[in-house]
Chain A
Amino acid sequence: MSMSSLLILTLIGLFLSVRGFQAFQTQGLGFITKVDWTAGVDGGKDSFGLGAMIIGTLVISAIALVIGVPLSVLTALFLTFYAPERIKKALVTLVDLMASFPSILFGLWGFIVLMPMAEYWAKLIHKYVGWIPLFKMPSPAYTRSPFIAGVVLAIMIIPIVTSVSREIFGQTPLDRIQAAYALGATRWAMIKAVVLPFGASGVVGGAMLGLGRALGETVAVYSVLNIVFKVNFQVLYGFGGNIASMIVGKWGEASLSESKALLAAGFVLFVMTLLVNLLANFIVRRTVKTGK
């Protein structure tokens, strides 16, 4: 019975790769590297390249990490070392609550509430630091950009990154904290000298768990991202890619051969998230166990 998880994982890998085999076979390595995705109509040739979606997934996940991880670490530090007991309890509950919100809520909220705000922020960013290639705009299309998707994902990963960081910070050996204070350290000096060196790898692990979530997120991203099969590094510009949302988006109208290609895409996503999560868990467990 307890081997059921092995069975399920193996079956997932097996079915997705076998069912998607046709796509791997006809497209070869191009399935991962090519950027165009066209289903051949009327016996025409299929061309399925996941490249733009893989890069797009990485781009929005990176944005999520850049925004979400610092906020989470700040929140975790605030909760562990600064917040008065009552505020701490309330905030911890809120963060846990946030973790239980369904992703469709983030999607709907992101589309209706966040999008107009994020559009305004994007315009500000473009206005002031638009000379950086990352923030260039070929034309003023600010909605449904990788930036907005990244902001939604950042909010979604904050609970997990915060709670992992908080747990690690809370395990900082008391004798080191006291040593720092006894040497006349302020709270911040103590955190810099003791807590951050101790907790750094745990935060990295937490961020990787967050990355794992961000990579696989579907409906929230689908609601706020304009999915186009083109590589886009201009994060404020209104199109991008995400494997999970692409699968959902294409599913309805897919022919049999395209469906199989989508299963193969799922397989690629499965492998990506599996690797990231295993690495994350490895890092977190090592930190907790050794206490460094």
Chain B
Amino acid sequence: MTILSNSTPVTPQKPWKVSKKQQLPNLFLIAAAVVASFVIVAATPMKGKLAYLLLFFVIGTTFQLALSWYKRGRAAAADTVAGAVMMAGAFIVFLPVASLLITTIVKGSKGFRPHIFNHTMAATSYSDPLTSGGLIHAIIGTLFLIVIATAISLPLSILTALYLTEIKGKASGFIQFLVQAMSGVPSVVAGIFIYAAILLTTNLRGSTFIGALPLAILMIPTVTRTAQEVLNLVPNELREAGLALGATQWKTVATIVVPAARNGLITAVILGVARIAGETAPLLFTLGTSDKINWNPFSGGQNALPYYIWSGLRDGTEGGINRAWTGILVLLILVLSLFVSARIFGSRKVK
């Protein structure tokens, strides 16, 4: 039992990492699987991308299975197959995301020209050539809807979140339960509810404001839950420090807790906006409609990006579908920028 003394410097290694050399047989197997799938597709009546992918997966996995069984036994073979199936599952999930993004960009860019940002559909019908008309009225409508829905839901959500995290009153459990229940309300139900409660009860007509109401309902649970998570991240020491200085609880919350969680609360609002920006169903019952810009949120119909897309889709003509894709592209750009900004703010939730 001796202690070896070694004066030469030792470098950290990761001997468990599979080296390039060890991956060679795998690469060879994958190449063989590709060749084999091409041969089989060529030799049999099977055809199409689906056949290539399926064959490649089956053959490749079989090869890997055989190799690991031969080298390490049954358990390792099962592990290999499980790994391959999981990777295939993740790949299948990845495909529609890629397809959705690519299709939107390819098809949407056809009608994505500068003039759509300063034209409306007032003098154009959906089936007209893409060179005429635009969707500026829908963009303005969507912005109006976002602002009004946020203005209504924000105080309700933040106060509910504060109640749940700061006061933790007797009703906390019940309110948590209600917020969860609310997050499951289908958007179409929110829409017909506002219709039943307001348009059917009073003699008001659909307008921007009425259209924003169901969106506010859909926004509340998202903002509340995110805000709650963020407020829970504020360290208790901060609260105690405030209270120890003799501040009341509300004063502590207003001057210490909320500012500390500011970025996170902004994230909560952004996520809420992202949740409603693309909502279509509720608007069909509450927004009325408009082909041109309507600056008055309380009277007259309004348009919105999802509504514009919906109209294009229902129009069904080539022009209509193309306009719908352009609308989707604009909407997606909006949603993606919300998503990215939520990430940026979310990465520094609490100061």
Known: A6-B175, A280-B184; 17 extra A-B contacts, CB below 8 A, are: A5-B156, A9-B181, A11-B193, A74-B90, A78-B87, A97-B97, A103-B278, A103-B279, A108-B325, A187-B82, A187-B83, A209-B184, A217-B186, A219-B281, A244-B188, A262-B192, A270-B186
Interface stretch of the complex, out of B71-79, B117-125, B242-250, B256-264: B71-79
Distance between B253 CB and nearest chain A CB, rounded to angstroms: 14
Is B43 among interface residues, defined by CB-CB distance under 8 A?
no
A104 touches B310 (CB 8 A): yes
Residue positions of B touching A, CB distance < 8 A: 48, 50, 75-76, 78-79, 81-83, 85-90, 92-94, 96-97, 99-100, 103-104, 107, 155-156, 159-160, 163-164, 171, 174-175, 177-190, 192-193, 195-197, 200, 217, 220-221, 224, 274-275, 277-281, 284-285, 306, 309-310, 313, 321, 324-325, 328, 331-332, 335-336, 338-339
A106 to B, closest residue via Cβ: B100
B185 touches A105 (CB 8 A): no
Within 8 A of B (CB), among A98-127: 98, 100-109, 111-114, 120-121
Is A134 among interface residues, defined by CB-CB distance under 8 A?
no
User: B196 is contacted by which of A2, A71, A263 (Cβ under 8 Å)?
Assistant: A263
Interface stretch of the complex, out of A30-38, A230-238, A271-279: A271-279
Distance between A198 CB and nearest chain B CB, rounded to angstroms: 17
A112 touches B280 (CB 8 A): no
A12 touches B103 (CB 8 A): no
B79 touches A1 (CB 8 A): no
B284 touches A251 (CB 8 A): yes
Contacts of A96 in B (CB 8 A): 339
Q: How many Å lie between the Cα of A83 and that of B181 in the bound state? A: 34
Is A3 among interface residues, defined by CB-CB distance under 8 A?
yes
Contacts of B279 in A (CB 8 A): 102-103
Q: How many Å lie between the Cα of A208 and that of B173 in the bound state? A: 21
A280 to B, closest residue via Cβ: B184
Distance between B111 CB and nearest chain A CB, rounded to angstroms: 13
Contacts of A79 in B (CB 8 A): 90
Given A6-B178, A104-B310, A262-B192, A215 and B278 contact (CB-CB distance below 8 Å): no
Interface residues of A, CB < 8 Å — how many? Answer: 81
B97 touches A4 (CB 8 A): no
A102 touches B277 (CB 8 A): yes
Distance between B197 CB and nearest chain A CB, rounded to angstroms: 4
Q: How many Å lie between the Cα of A94 and that of B275 in the bound state? A: 16
User: B82 is contacted by which of A16, A191, A215 (Cβ under 8 Å)?
Assistant: A191
Residue positions of A touching B, CB distance < 8 A: 1-6, 8-9, 11-12, 15-16, 19-20, 70-75, 77-79, 82-83, 91, 94-98, 100-109, 111-114, 120-121, 155, 158, 162, 185-189, 191, 209, 212, 215-219, 223, 244, 247-248, 251, 259, 262-263, 266, 269-270, 273-274, 276-278, 280-281
A selection of 10 A-B contacts at a CB cut-off of 8 Å is A1-B156, A2-B163, A15-B193, A74-B90, A91-B94, A111-B313, A186-B75, A216-B186, A244-B189, A276-B184
Contacts of B339 in A (CB 8 A): 96-97, 100
A251 touches B285 (CB 8 A): yes
Classify the secondary structure of B's interface with A. Answer: helix
Given A8-B182, A244-B281, A218 and B97 contact (CB-CB distance below 8 Å): no
Distance between B98 CB and nearest chain A CB, rounded to angstroms: 8
Contacts of B160 in A (CB 8 A): 1-2, 4-5
B96 touches A155 (CB 8 A): yes
Contacts of A11 in B (CB 8 A): 193, 197
A269 touches B189 (CB 8 A): yes
Contacts of A277 in B (CB 8 A): 180-181, 183-184
B328 touches A266 (CB 8 A): no
A113 touches B103 (CB 8 A): yes
Given A5-B221, A105-B104, A278 and B180 contact (CB-CB distance below 8 Å): yes
Distance between B153 CB and nearest chain A CB, rounded to angstroms: 9
Q: How many Å lie between the Cα of A97 and that of B220 in the bound state? A: 20
B175 touches A218 (CB 8 A): no
